[in-house]
Structure 1
Amino acid sequence: MTFIKNKRCVAIAGVLSFLALNGMAQPGGNRQQQGQAAAVIPPTDSKGSVVALPVDPTGYIVSNSPNIPPPVVTKHSVTIKGQVINYTATTGYLQLKNEDGKPKANIFFTAYTKDGVSDKSKRPITYTFNGGPGSSSVWLHMGLLGPKRVVMTDKGDVLPPPYSYVNNEYSWLDKTDLVFLDPVTTGYSRAVTGENDKQFHGYVEDLQSMGDAIQLFSTKYDRWNSPKFLAGESYGTTRAAGLSDYLQSRHKFYLNGIVLISSILNMQTARFDVGNDYPFPLFLPTYTATAWYHKKLPADLQQKDLKSVLKEVEDFATEEYNIALLKGSELTGQEYENIVNKLSRYTGLTKEYIRQTNLRIDIHKFDKELRRTEGLTVGRLDSRFTGRDYNDVGVTPEFDPSNTGTISGPYAAAINHYVKAELKYNNDLPYEILGGRVNPWNYNNVQNRYLNVAEDLRSAMANNPHLKVWVLCGYYDLATPYFAAEYTFNTMGLRPEQRKNVNFTYYEAGHMIYIHKPSLIQTKIDADKLYDEVTKEINSAIVKSR
């Protein structure tokens, strides 16, 4: 493996709230049945009086109240690699407060912890989230890491509604406990009444709220001595890299590993702005992979395997193409035509179109152009998928067929049913899957420049020499291309001893690697190796210290 819900409160007059995750056994009844809720006890204040909890007339939790109930606890099991894993699911809120105790926001979480673990210090825990910014953690929760996964075809095509999910035999729960966190204004997470949610909508602000939520969970549930990991996808990798430094510097909270799924740490690599030529060579190999998949390359290239083709294109992108972009108008006529010919060869686009772009192919225009003569567009998140616009004369696609046409419906149905039906958790708010409620996102820390969090990660690695970084890339990902991720790590100034802790794996899939079942299976194999490697290193260090 190469890793390179008028809100009002009603008084609680009896047993109304579910037992929080505190390990307390309650008498009476079998707690091990799948989906069975634990016993319930009423919360009290410091004087022993029963407190009012925020519920509406139907009993649903009101999430933006400063008074929140304890989490809901249920018991379940899942079979992974032939082994039955009994586990506890804990669903509810972590409340962020000012130092004077005033509530600011309620962060929704779902935690899965393996039963029968006597020593938490030997059991890894992984804090995980998605990206956007503005996305809930549903994708990694119901697609890759969690104990349930959405049912799709092996390729990743959507089945007819109503959709379904099954036990995830490729869950990471056999190797690590899992905590899925939704940033403020995603999922069920909200700022409390009277607090402006915009105070959480920015790079720095998001790191503070998410980092403080991780610290709070670790303290509340006694996980400071556990091997600790972060796992993020897309902008979630941006968050994870920033959190690695924030957690260390703010809370002295040191990590064992970071998992970056469809990574983007340097925004300059993916912004097609006039004067910024970085994306053009960095996106080119993914253009080639896309054209190869859709059989738009010349015959000699189509006959080769994908990796061989990509190696040829990577060399061209790094050398000839990069130099040509640097020379700009200083290119001779022959040099210009040579680049035109090769770009046409490697993208499946006509030479005339290449000339019209002035050698600079924008991703969205590529998605429209590659199969324009057939009246089809290709996906951005996953370029294996195609869509059809209202007409064929537009410059860019009307929608991303690999997003709205593929994954949104099944994942929304899955999480909304699962949380209520199996985790026994009710909430009056809509579960915000992925939307624009966080816009505009605040990048005040990087005015007049691009956000680049690679330095945050490098700093974290320098201060924590045991920190492992695993980067997962999809060849058909046109949102966060693999070659751009490689470039970022190659140029972030890692020392040799740090570089050996960075590992890359590649999959013939798109942005959501896991919707492609062969890649889902391989990802599980690769994840096992990571957790086994870290566990082995910890155990070895313990032995040597004795």
Structure 2
Amino acid sequence: MRQRFLAPLCLALGLPLLAHAEADAPTPPIPEPTAFVSEHRGTFNGKAVSYEARAGETYLRDADGEPTASIFSFAYVAKDGGEDRPVTFVWNGGPGSASLWLHMGTFGPKRVVVPSDASHPGLPPYPIVDAAETILDVTDLVFVDPVGTGYSRALGDHESTEFWGLTEDAGAMAEFIRRWLSANGRWNSPKFLLGESFGTTRAALVAKLLEDEYRVALNGLVLISQALDYAGSSPYVRDNLISYVTYVPTMAATAWHHGKVDREGTDLETFLQEARDFAVDELLPALFRGNTLDAETRARVRDGLVRFTGLSPTYVERADLRINGFRFAGELLRDEGLSVGLNDARYSAEPVDNLAARPENDAAGDAFSAAFTGSLLSYLHGDLGVDWERPYLSPADPELSDHWNWSREAPGETWEPHWVNTARDLARALEANPALRVFVAGGYHDLVTPFFDAEFTLRRHRIGADRVDFHFYHGGHMMYVHEPSRQALLGDVRAFMNGALRE
């Protein structure tokens, strides 16, 4: 009886003492970086390449040399390449996305196969095949996962929030590149950055940091589904006139794909150029005039929107000539009980709520996300020998989105709210490095980062037209899920890199 009484009493009295002891307990020592290295051989663009796959951690460190974060990367390095071989640092976006999309979608040595026609890929197992068209014949590839994604984590007493922000994230990625170059003896190698979506936002900032702070000259930037100036890709902001203009060509491509516009006597490229011209020459001035727009001009602009979007005149009138790109996704096929995808508007799905103004979920992401995640984890375990208890975060740490810092100002400083815009940082990198060129890829059916916004953004900010190559493809945000576009993209990127290396 006495023992049964003392046990709960000791627990009750000891809990505060245990909590205090835990608070005062020293942080466990940080182990050495983990690495999984394996040897492989493949044929890429007809060239046999023997390479090492180095899946492992790189520690970021503070001024005292103490680790602050572990950045996990997947590096594919040719065994006989040497320091003269180019190296390309690759990341996805989000913020909060691991690199699995570019890794397993197109640029890695293996890829997952999903249907090109925007149909659902079905259930596992998903085909994982050799990616013979990828660019490992030209460059080593380093796929990078930021803190809070993949296997990357904050270390010791440091919090993940220290790395979750526009400038914080770019600083960490630039520091990772510096340390990777040092650890691998690659300071004199030709260098490229390749990012997708928010990864392009990051790439512009990182390029500036590398040029200005580390004196690292880049040979080229590859921006896939660019998102530098967010004015053109924020259709959910009601008073954002720019997005009503930049989305028109993408809506036209989508309406064309789903047979909602008149295609008689024309082709897609001509139709899209006409949509561009209409958006700039007619819609933009009309929106700028607001309630002073005369009735005749208003009717002409309304009819133009009907022609290019496939929406009804009644809907366009009720929208006051302002077609929200996300609402368009819910409206185009509403009479069929369907909504189209945001990441790729070729996809469609039957929404739970067919009366919602915009889709609550993304038909494209719902279709292929499981295929990409499952194939990556299978590939890591099987081919790369990554056997680790640490979870691979994809999606990211659930706290990341709510704690992301979009401000570029120091905490506590006042600032006038403005769009996220790193196009000016890209302009600075181009100023510092006159030989630097930029490759921009976009998908015709991307309702997240519309392809016309890429042209709008990169033709401003004092960026010379001769510094940027534009390439647009069938498909959406990840145009490489469309097989002909995947092959075309890889061929175009290879040509761009070879051209940059010859300059």
| Alignment TM-score, normalising by the size of structure 1 | 0.83
CA distance in 1, matches of 2:29, 2:281: 58
> Partner residue of 2:16?
none
Match of 2:250 among 268, 286, 307: 286
Matched, 1:501 2:467: yes
Per-residue Cα deviation, 1:218-260 (whole angstroms, up to 9, x for no partner): 0100111000000000000000011110111121111000000
The amino acid across from 2:44 in the alignment is I
Distance (Å, rounded) in 1 between the aligned partners of 2:265 and 2:369: 35
The alpha-carbon deviation at position 174 of structure 1 amounts to: 0.7
Distance 2:264 2:325 in 1: 22
By how many angstroms is 1:110 displaced? 0.6
Q: 8 Å contact 1:285–1:310 — kept in the other structure? A: yes
How is 1:158-177 mapped onto 2 (pairs within 5 angstroms)? 158-177=121-140
Question: Which structure 2 residues correspond to residues 50-199 of structure 1 after superposition, within 5 A?
Answer: 66-117=30-81, 119-121=82-84, 123-157=85-119, 158-199=121-162
Runs of 4 or more off by more than 4 Å in structure 1? Answer: none
Q: Which amino acid aligns with 2:51?
A: Y
Matched, 1:248 2:217: no
1:353 aligns with 2:322: no
For residue 318 of structure 1, give the secondary structure of its aligned residue in structure 2: helix
- 1:449 corresponds to which residue? 418
Query: Equivalents in 2 of 1:472, 1:282: separation in Å?
Result: 16
1:472 equivalent in alignment to 2:438? no
Instruction: Pick the structure with more helix per residue.
Output: 2
Q: Is the CA contact 1:132–1:434 (under 8 Å) kept in the aligned structure 2?
A: no
Structure 1 position 437, deviation (Å) = 3.4
After TM superposition, the structure 1 stretch with the greater mean CA deviation from structure 2, 74-83 or 314-323, is 74-83
Contact 1:153 1:159 in 2 (8 A): no
User: 1:65 Cα deviation (Å)?
Assistant: 6.7
- What is the letter of the counterpart of residue 74 of structure 1? S
Q: Which residue of 2 aligns with 1:35?
A: none
Q: d(CA) in 2 for partners of 1:394 and 1:365?
A: 9
Provide the secondary structure at the position in 1 that maps to 2:114: coil
AA paired with 1:388?
E
1:442, CA displacement in angstroms?
0.4
Q: CA deviation at 1:303?
A: 4.4
Matched, 1:516 2:482: yes
1:297 to 244, 256, 261: 261
SS in 2 for 1:109: strand
Conserved 8 A contact 1:292-1:302: no
Alignment of 1:327-366 (within 5 A): 327-366=289-328
In structure 1, what is the Cα distance between the partners aligned to 2:245 and 2:272? 12
Do 1:68 and 1:93's aligned partners in 2 also have CA atoms closer than 8 Å? no
Unaligned 5+ segments in structure 2 are: 1-27, 410-414
Is 2:67–2:156's contact at 8 Å kept on the other side of the alignment?
no
Tell me if structure 1 keeps the 8 A contact 2:219–2:501. Answer: no
DSSP-derived class of the 1:452 partner: coil
Conservation of the 8 A alpha-carbon contact between 2:78 and 2:140? yes
The corresponding residue for 2:458 is 489
Secondary structure in 2 aligned to 1:79?
strand
Q: Output the CA distance in 2 between the equivalents of 1:142 and 1:431.
A: 15
Structure 2 contact 118–346 (Cα < 8 Å) conserved: no
Q: RMSD between aligned alpha carbons?
A: 1.4
Of residues 341, 364, 388, the one that matches 1:427 is: 388
Q: Across the two proteins, how many residue pairs are aligned to each other?
A: 466
Query: What residue is the counterpart of 2:275 in the other structure?
Result: 313
d(CA) in 1 for partners of 2:340, 2:264: 18
Structure 1's unaligned 5+ residue stretches are: 1-63, 538-546
Shift of 1:431: 1.2
Task: Give the Cα–Cα distance (whole angstroms) in 1 for the partners of residues 170 and 474 of structure 2.
Answer: 32
Name the SS for the 1:225 alignment partner.
coil
Which one of 338, 363, 367 corresponds to residue 329 of structure 2?
A: 367
Asked if 2 retains the 8 angstrom alpha-carbon contact of 1:134 and 1:437, the reply is: no
Q: Distance in 1 between the 2:467 and 2:326 partners?
A: 34
TM-score of the two chains, using structure 2 as the length reference: 0.90
Determine if contact 1:154/1:517 at 8 Å carries over to the other structure. yes
CA deviation string 1:101-130 (max 9, x = no partner): 22111000110011222x322x11000100
Moved more, 187-196 or 276-285: 187-196
Residues 1:427 and 1:342: Cα distance change in structure 2 (over 3 Å)? same
Q: Does the CA-based 8 Å contact 2:33-2:58 persist in structure 1? A: no
Q: Deviations over 1:260-297 (max 9, x none)?
A: 00101001111232322000010000000000000000
Match of 1:218 in 2: 181
SS in 2 for 1:75: strand
Say which SS state the counterpart of residue 72 (structure 2) adopts. strand
**Cα shift at 1:84:** 2.1
Q: Is the 8 A contact 1:257 1:468 kept in 2?
A: yes
The residue identity in structure 1 corresponding to 2:87 is I
> Is contact 1:204-1:445 (8 Å) kept?
yes
Aligned to 2:170: 207
1:511–1:351 CA distance, 2 compared to 1 (3 A): same
Partner of 1:265: 228
Amino acid at match of 2:422: V
The one-letter amino acid paired with 1:451 is: V
1:411 lines up with 2:411 in the alignment: no
How far apart are residue 156 of structure 1 and its match? 4.9
CA drift at 1:67: 1.5
Q: Quick one: distance in 1 between partners of 2:406 and 2:182?
A: 30
Q: Are 1:74 and 1:423, in contact at CA under 8 Å, matched by a contact in 2?
A: yes
Tell me the SS of whatever aligns to 2:69: strand
Give the stretch that moved more between structures: 246-255 or 78-87: 78-87
* Structure-2 separation of matches of 1:156 and 1:114: 35
Equivalent pairs: percent with the same residue? 37
User: SS where residue 220 of structure 1 aligns?
Assistant: helix
